Structure 1
Amino acid sequence: MFSLQTIFGQGKQFFALLDEAAVAAHDSTKALHEMLKAPERTPGLEAFKLARQRERVAADKISQALVDSFITPIEREDIEALASALYKIPKQVERFADRYALARHRLDGIDFAPRAAMLEQAAGVVVEMVEELRHMGLERMKQLNDRLRVLEAEADRLILELHRDIYSGRLDAGEMFLLKEFFEILEKAIDRCREAGVVAYQIVLKNS
């Protein structure tokens, strides 16, 4: 019978790869915040593509490690679920960045930066939650989960405020549709962070 030390020792690779995925997701949100803080600059998309590539590499390594490993520190389904949730964060962020680079000339006066800041903070909490999986500390994970919920609620409030611009009367139908699309993409990115945090929290609940 394998000891817990043996199981967790052999599982270090999974924790390291999940860390890589979470950090890549966080880096994509940092890049988005930087882009939206300086809307006058021509947006560069390389940082988003690089973060997405790093996330994809980590996801592929996790999938291969699951095939190669007989023992995992937590259930395989949980590892797959968390890897999948993390993968969706930079994917959604890159989607926003690509569209913003094309349409920013039609978004004058719309300040997305405060919402992007909340997204960056949420992704940072996800990084901490993934790191905490090594320790399976329920109390610490609960604190992080509560922080993530507060950030999600605040981000939702800020995004709701943006809807005032839609109904301000100064936008034509095309601009209103465009703005609504950006709201939805950004809101989904924040939701992706929340989903990843929920998976991490549930893993600790299951194993505590």
Structure 2
Amino acid sequence: MSALQRIFGRDTKFYDLLESGAAAAKQSASILVALFPKLSAGGSNEILSDLSQERRKHKRISQRTTEELCQNFVTPLEREDIEALSTALYKITKTVEKIGERLLISPPGTDLSLVSRQITMLEKAAEVVVTMVTQIRAKSHGEEIRDAYERLQTIEGDADKLMNELLRELYHGSSDARVVVFWKDLYELLEKGIDRCRDAGYVVFHVALKYS
């Protein structure tokens, strides 16, 4: 493809890479949702392997994005925005993998259904991120991206409220100290996962403002 084609926006490789990164982040969240029914069925190690594989796949996408930035002078978006979004998306996948690892080392008898709502919120947040990243390509969906970013902020706010409720119950209960540490760590990782989605959404929102 010629330089003139890239200048006029016909080179789609960066959009393709960013959309692939968003899809990988969403897929990792979906794998995490699938982890729950398998925790007691002996298939949890397989799910963790799937999370690791998705993270490695996403890392390759992120590395290729960096390579393309180094090799291409002309880009359809500002270089720092492409790099920032690629990094933000990868952080979602990395955080989701860490959540899966924590779930697998839960203390015996732990009722993991307590975090099912947070994990569902994480998947929904990742879905919104996919929608937002897909809309960048058109550069004419400023309002749609703004609305999606507001949905993302709403999910984050609801997740923060839920975590505060769960922490209140945890601190006012009589759980063993080790159990308290486990839950606190897991709650905070889930909060971070949703925050990572918000961070990626903010980069998209920032890009949309430039083209509005």
Quote the residue 1:195 is aligned against. Answer: 199
The 1:33/1:134 distance shift into structure 2, 3 A limit, reads: same
- Pair 1:30-2:36 in alignment: no
Gaps of 5+ in 1: none
CA distance in 1 between counterparts of 2:81 and 2:137 reads 14
User: Deviation string for 1:121-168 (max 9, x for gaps)?
Assistant: 000000010000011211111111111111111111222222144124
CA distance in 2 between counterparts of 1:109 and 1:91 reads 21
Quote the residue 1:207 is aligned against. Answer: 211
Amino acid at match of 1:26: K
User: Deviation string for 1:147-202 (max 9, x for gaps)?
Assistant: 11111111112222221441242301111111111111110000000000000110
- 3-state SS, counterpart of residue 103 of structure 1: coil
Give TM-score scaled by structure 2 length. Answer: 0.90
The 1:39/1:158 distance shift into structure 2, 3 A limit, reads: farther
CA distance in 2 between counterparts of 1:57 and 1:3 reads 28
CA distance in 1 between counterparts of 2:194 and 2:208 reads 22
Answer whether contact 1:21 1:54 (CA < 8 A) is retained: no
Answer whether contact 1:7 1:71 (CA < 8 A) is retained: no
Answer whether contact 2:6 2:75 (CA < 8 A) is retained: no
Amino acid at match of 1:190: I
CA distance in 1 between counterparts of 2:69 and 2:6 reads 19
CA distance in 2 between counterparts of 1:104 and 1:30 reads 24
Q: How does 1:129-208 map to 2 (within 5 A)?
A: 129-136=132-139, 137-208=141-212
User: Deviation string for 1:41-72 (max 9, x for gaps)?
Assistant: 33231221121011101101101110111210
- Pair 1:70-2:73 in alignment: yes
CA distance in 2 between counterparts of 1:13 and 1:63 reads 12
User: Deviation string for 1:72-102 (max 9, x for gaps)?
Assistant: 0010000000001001001001011112112
- 3-state SS, counterpart of residue 112 of structure 1: helix
Give TM-score scaled by structure 1 length. Answer: 0.92
Instruction: Kindly state the Cα deviation for residue 5 of structure 1 after the two structures are TM-superposed.
Output: 7.6
Instruction: Kindly state the Cα deviation for residue 40 of structure 1 after the two structures are TM-superposed.
Output: 2.4
Quote the residue 2:16 is aligned against. Answer: 16
RMSD: 1.8
Quote the residue 2:94 is aligned against. Answer: 91
Quote the residue 1:111 is aligned against. Answer: 114
Gaps of 5+ in 2: none
CA distance in 1 between counterparts of 2:203 and 2:5 reads 22
Answer whether contact 2:30 2:123 (CA < 8 A) is retained: yes
Moved over 6 A (4+): 2-5
Aligned length: 206
Identity %: 35
Answer whether contact 1:36 1:116 (CA < 8 A) is retained: no
